Structure 1
Amino acid sequence: MLADLEELVRCESYSADHEAVARSAGVVAALGRRLLRAEPETIVIGGVTHLRWSFGTPRVLLLGHHDTVWPVGSLREHPWSVEDGIARGPGVFDMKAGLVQIFHAVASLPSPDGLAVLVVGDEELGSPTSRALIESAASGCAAAFVAEASADGGALKTARKGISRYELTVHGRAAHAGLEPELGANAGLELAHQVLAISDIAARLDSSSKAGLTSVTPTMLSAGTSTNTVPGLGRVAIDVRVPDAEAQRRVDELMRALTPRIPGTRLELRGGPNRPPLDPAASAALFDVAAGLAAELGMAPLKGATVGGGSDGNFTAGVGCPTLDGLGAVGGCAHAPGEHVIVAEMPVRARLLAALAAHVLSGGPPGGDAGGGDDAYRGRTA
């Protein structure tokens, strides 16, 4: 598993670099070909390369992504290394170790019949080209298991916030800042008004038991073209995280109700909801099964966590497929220089994933007794 992980990490796969993602897909395909003894279907959409393996009529979806947030060349500053049982390198935690665990888990089963393995190449961008693939694959399945990195301490991700993304453009009127500023309509100043209004949206939502769980955050912003020109254009990107569908709908409503304050300016809003929330109800029954299987496998008691980050599990849950997320690597510092994986946990998590797949494939209900029905898996190792 460690050798496979090294091979994946050394093949950089920055989401925005389609050529790098295509090279990575080739390495992932070779890994799957060796362990699954089957050719993947290579699907290129909008220049992005995705891989899919299907065995029989899929009833269980194993889901992951091979793109990362790390630009090509990051290996020079953050090289692959293994020291004291800790593996490091760009994308090692999010989520190349999870991919290794998927393939080794499937290889440990007596038969992959009934499984689908989908590895997409644009998750870190919000899955713009792969969302339809994910939703289609999940729609016909009894369960989706997402090998994204675990939460703190190895906790499974039993709920995720929904995500909305917006870009607000302020159109003003440029003018010379020294000679005739009064002829301008300052898009930068209007942008400042809008940033404050946007920052207040979360507080304006109706109070409830989930108050405070919604965040509406202006992030990247820009305005103007030179220091002596009244800005004629300004932009701000907005990141929204919500606990449920109602909050997502309400934020969208308030975003679209924004109005300009300065005469001569106008607003243009783009974007909207990107990922639906992964409701705890979508994971609860599968988490109970996982907890029982973990006990049988001699693992430490499992914990569940609600996280603010989104994943493709939001999409599988959104189409009504029971979904359990965070089944990938145990480690930390995703997207950061300290990104790392605890190597010893990789086979442990692969065994759990294999046991979960076997449970559902053998006819065990998502919320049924984890004992029984998994005899085909027991005794084997991932």
Structure 2
Amino acid sequence: MSMIERLREYAEHETPTGAADALNAFADRLVRRYGELGGTARRVPAPTGDHVVADFPGRGPRADDAPLLFLAHHDTVWPIGQLERMPWREEDGVIHGPGVFDMKGGLVVLETALEQVADDDRRPVRAIVTADEEVGSPSARELVTAESAGVVAAFGLEPPHPNGDLKTSRRGSTRVRIEVAGREAHAALDASSGVSAIDELVDQLIAVRTLVSQYENVLCNVGTIMGGGRTNVVAGKAAAELGLRFVDPETERAVLDAVAGLRPVRPRAELDVRVISSRPAWQPSAPVDELLAKVAEAGRSVGQDVGGAAASGAADTNLTGWLGVPTLDGLGPLGKGAHAVHEQVIAATLPERAALVAAIIRSI
């Protein structure tokens, strides 16, 4: 099966975050595939969808060396049925479809690279494919931490920068939920006895914006808002989920402490602030620079120029980088439109990225 055929097969198996049955069926597919490639793979149970861990033995004099770790995920942001609205298609060397860029293309790249190095002397390889990366990997954090112990380096198969550069650091990313309980009342006949949870939530979001503005390089996005029910009823409940991103752990701690310290503006309003998921900031380091130099050398061996730069988005590589494991991300194919209806990959970069990953496995 060609890379494009396999990518189509993967994209047409829809796997939204939290759809446990769909994710588990895909995990079974990965376990079988990794077995075909000579690995020992297993599903790691999680309530919202199982993760996959696979180990591929080393060969020759490097068979007992510390393994290389590859990180990926099989969940996507797209709901079941998205294929009807953005069907798979290949036009002028560009592949379109839900999940092709983020990040089923990266899964196909790794599989192809493993095929290419099957008979080569090399280190062992370990792969972790998580099922809830798109919501911060809340059920996979302990797994990634445990399975990254003792590895020599970690590589993410997320999309690269637009020019193909790898990602050498990432902002920390934390999801926070703010819930407000007010008091329902008739909005005209008894408004004074009510407490609007919506009004309280609006004021709390303004307060968050104000405190975030006191720090440089902090991003804040209000991703969802919900609450109320009828225009003639004072809203009794409201909630919002925020995405916060940080360059360094000191700023992260200061902002999160301030958000946790929010207090109700209105008498009788109740406020609950909690962290839903958190990925620590992965900062630039000398070990990452050294790893990038080795990867650039591996790239030259297959006729590719490899560069690197910091990234704003978060991924599972945040955790390995934060833990001090030399880490690089962005080894997936080139394309654009992550989380957007124009999601796409450039078909020719699938084999190019596979050749680069294979060179990394052979040489690092």
TM-score (norm 2): 0.91
- 1:8 aligns to 2:13 (yes or no): no
Contact in 2 for aligned 1:61/1:117 (Cα 8 Å) = yes
Could you tell me which residue of structure 1 aligns to residue 290 of structure 2? 285
> Which segment drifts farther, 47-56 or 72-81?
47-56
Find the counterpart in structure 1 of residue 174 from structure 2.
Answer: 164
Find the counterpart in structure 1 of residue 132 from structure 2: 122
- Counterpart CA distance in 2 for 1:17 and 1:66 is 11
Map of 2:207 onto structure 1: 197
Cα distance in 1, alignment partners of residues 315 and 150 from structure 2: 19
Alpha-carbon deviation of 1:273?
5.9
Stretches (4+) displaced over 3 A: 55-58
Gaps of 5+ in 2: 58-63
Indicate the percent of aligned positions where both proteins have the same amino acid: 34
Residue 255 of structure 1 is aligned with which of 246, 255, 259?
259
Matching residue within 297, 300, 303 for 1:298: 303
What SS does the aligned partner of 1:173 have? coil
CA RMSD for the aligned pairs?
1.8
For residues 11 and 40 of structure 2, the distance between their equivalents in structure 1, rounded to whole angstroms, comes to 22
Q: Figure out how many residues of one structure are paired with residues of the other and give that number.
A: 352
What is the aligned partner in structure 2 of residue 94 from structure 1? 102
Q: Which residue, 353, 356, 361 being the options, matches 2:357?
A: 353
Distance in 1 between residues matched to 2:130 and 2:200, nearest whole Å? 40
How far apart are 1:151 and its partner, in Å? 1.5
Among 315, 339, 342, the alignment partner of 1:338 is: 342
CA distance in 2, matches of 1:77, 1:273: 30
Deviation at residue 217 of structure 1 after TM alignment: 2.6
Alignment of 1:152 with 2:162, yes or no, is yes
Q: State the Cα distance separating 1:112 from its structure 2 match.
A: 6.1
Structure 1 Cα separation of the partners of residues 338 and 277 of structure 2: 24
Query: Which structure 1 segments of 5+ residues have no match?
Result: 206-210, 361-382
Q: Matches of 2:55 and 2:338 in 1, distance apart?
A: 29
Cα distance in 2, alignment partners of residues 92 and 359 from structure 1: 28
The amino acid that maps onto 2:132 is D
| C-alpha separation in 1, matches of 2:223 and 2:123 | 45
For residue 244 of structure 2, what is the aligned residue in structure 1? 240
1:106 to 114, 120, 127: 114
1:28 paired with 2:24, answer no
TM-score by structure 1 length?
Answer: 0.87
Q: Residue 263 of structure 2: SS of its match in structure 1?
A: coil
**Residues 176-210 of structure 1: CA deviation (Å, up to 9, x unaligned):** 111111112222221121111111122123xxxxx
Partner Cα separation in structure 1 for residue 179 and residue 17 of structure 2: 25
Matched with 2:60 is none
Alignment check: 8 A CA contact 2:138 2:277 kept: no
AA matched with 1:15: T
Distance 1:78 1:188 in 2: 35
Query: What do residues 224-282 of structure 1 show as CA deviations (whole Å, max 9, x unaligned)?
Result: 23211112222121110101111110111110221222222121111166001121216
